[in-house]
Amino acid sequence: MKSIPLLFILLLLFSGSCKNESFGTGEYSGVLNKPLVMGNQHVALFPLVDSNILEVKIRSISDSRCPSDVTCFWEGEVLVAFEIRNINYAVSLCLGQRDTCISTFEFSFNNINYQLELRNVLPYPSTKNSDQEKVVEFAVNQLN
């Protein structure tokens, strides 16, 4: 019986030491071709094969999706503004059902092609979570 409380305490300690770096503040280490989750105004640093660092910042998140516990006439969309600092370029990507909603952007840096891909924005809106901070799941994929 004493081993159960000890096991619980060890699990709590272990879970506290395994922070998901994508929910903190500041700069984060990204990995090409792998998703990263981070909040508004945060910067991801992606090490490249040529020893350069690609910097991607989330400039803003605008979520007009219909809350999951509400009936709407329009599904809505979520728009995320990114800044790719190395090439001084800002791009807005979106998730939604409109034909004009684009979730990927291709660009070149040092003669290598990349794709910025917006994958998700969480939490999905509801009337109960409107005060929760949004986080963005995205990836930078190397194309060649």
| Per-residue pLDDT tens over the stretch 61-111 | 999 999 999 999 888 999 999 999 999 999 999 999 878 899 999 999 999
The residue whose two tokens read 């006439």 is 73
Rounded Cα–Cα distance for residues 45 and 57 (Å): 9
Query: Token pair of 142, please?
Result: 């190397």
- 23 within 8 A of 37, measured Cβ to Cβ: yes
- 38 within 8 A of 135, measured Cβ to Cβ: yes
What single-letter DSSP state applies at residue 132?
S
pLDDT reported for residue 25: 52
The model's pLDDT over 103-136, given as tens digits with 9 standing for 90+, comes to 999 999 999 999 999 999 999 999 999 889 999 9
Instruction: Map out the domains of the chain with their CATH numbers.
Output: 22-142 (2.60.98)
